[in-house]
Amino acid sequence: MKILLTGCNGMVGSWITEKLSSSPHNLLATSRGEYRLDPDLLNQNCNFSPLDITDRNAVIETIGEFHPDVIIHGAAITQVDDCEINKSLCYSVNVDGTRFIIEAANEVNARLCYLSTDFVFSGEAGPYKETDKTGPVNYYGQTKELAEQLVMESGLHWSILRTILLYGKADPIKRSNFIYWVKKNLEEGTKIKVVNDQIRTPTYIPDLVNGILLALEKGASGIYHISGENVFTPYEMAVVVAEHLQLNKELLEPVDASSFTQVGKRPLKTGFIIEKAKTELGFAATDFRKSLEFVL
């Protein structure tokens, strides 16, 4: 299978690139700017090409030349506050970029796998299933909802995989994440405030990558929720991390989200119901506590 990936330098994209570089698939990893991952990942079946998805001509040319069977579209601006501050850039990347990807995909008749987020929901009634009504509370979520609509109306063979609160083992080529932020502060003896009124089902990144590959290999179409099954607040996650590392959990102070000054509002209660992914894709989520054995 010929697969084109957007956003290969990102948190999820780096894991996808690593997984596919040793697979029989032919991968063209793309990202804005230079390649920032391990050069050893590049081989005869895994190549890199710079691609700014806001450049329509570049998108059409790159996809037209590679002629992929499948496009995994992971490139996006995901920082909630940055999206509120610079809405035009956020829209350009998250919505216009997706529109250009769709146009190019139609030209070569490629399937499209679009990576989305729990932030398309309001957070009033989570955990959510795929058929629940969306209603984002911040601009980032609004752009992802708009992009989802473009995908669903594209006429392509498409799948939308929503995920939530990602974490995984960090190293020099992978971004840090919430787990490592907690670890670092506890090891330094620093007291930290952690939100305890937001509900999530945190996602182990290798699980997400497996879910993506299952969707591709099964030719799945439609919306799928891919996440863990453990329901936690960030504070509860931090307590489990502290216990796992045998660090002082008294340094963790549970607080309401309202105690933080943030430009973009966050949904309070999201989390996913993943029965559809389990039943139709054969997806299996790693228990959060078990995953820490691999992460830390």
Give the pairing type, strands 252-255 and 166-167: unpaired
Q: Which residues pair with 47 in a beta bridge?
A: 28
Q: Tell me how many helices (H) and strands (E) the chain has.
A: 11, 11
Q: What is the pLDDT of residue 51?
A: 98
Q: At what angle do helices 178-187 and 234-245 cross, to 10 degrees?
A: 50
Q: What is the pLDDT of residue 175?
A: 76
Q: Which of 214, 173, 159, 216 is nearest to 18 (CA)?
A: 173
Cis peptide bond prior to 127, omega within 30° of 0: yes
Q: Rounded CA gap, 281 and 211, in Å?
A: 7
Q: What is the pLDDT of residue 46?
A: 98
Q: What are 267-276's pLDDT values in tens digits?
A: 999 999 999 9
Q: Cα–Cα distances in Å, from 39 out to 14, 21, 101, 264?
A: 12, 11, 26, 36
Place of tokens 């299933």: 129
* CA R_g for the chain: 19
Q: Which of 161, 294, 187 is nearest to 245 (CA)?
A: 187
Decide: helix, strand or coil at residue 5.
Answer: strand
Q: What are 209-230's pLDDT values in tens digits?
A: 999 999 999 999 999 999 999 9
Q: Which of 174, 202, 180 is nearest to 118 (CA)?
A: 202
Q: What is the pLDDT of residue 174?
A: 76
Decide: helix, strand or coil at residue 148.
Answer: helix
Full-model pTM: 0.97
183 near 251, Cβ under 8 Å? Answer: no
Q: What is the pLDDT of residue 296?
A: 94
Q: What is the pLDDT of residue 172?
A: 67
Q: What is the pLDDT of residue 277?
A: 98
Q: Which of 118, 220, 201 is nearest to 162 (CA)?
A: 118
Q: Rounded CA gap, 246 and 16, in Å?
A: 32
**Domain 2-166+202-225 belongs in CATH node 3.30.428.10:** no
Q: Rounded CA gap, 80 and 77, in Å?
A: 8
98 near 150, Cβ under 8 Å? Answer: yes
Q: Rounded CA gap, 2 and 67, in Å?
A: 8
Q: Rounded CA gap, 91 and 87, in Å?
A: 6
Sequence ranges of the domains in the chain = 2-166+202-225, 168-200+230-295
Q: What is the pLDDT of residue 170?
A: 86
Architecture of domain 168-200+230-295 in CATH?
A: Alpha-Beta Complex (3.90)
Per-residue pLDDT of the chain (296 residues; tens, 9 = 90+): 999 999 999 999 999 999 999 999 999 999 999 999 999 999 999 999 999 999 999 999 999 999 999 999 999 999 999 999 999 999 999 999 999 999 999 999 999 999 999 999 999 999 999 999 999 999 999 999 999 999 999 999 999 999 999 999 987 667 789 999 999 999 999 999 999 999 999 999 999 999 999 999 999 999 999 999 999 999 999 999 999 999 999 999 999 999 999 999 999 999 999 999 999 999 999 999 999 999 99
Decide: helix, strand or coil at residue 24.
Answer: coil
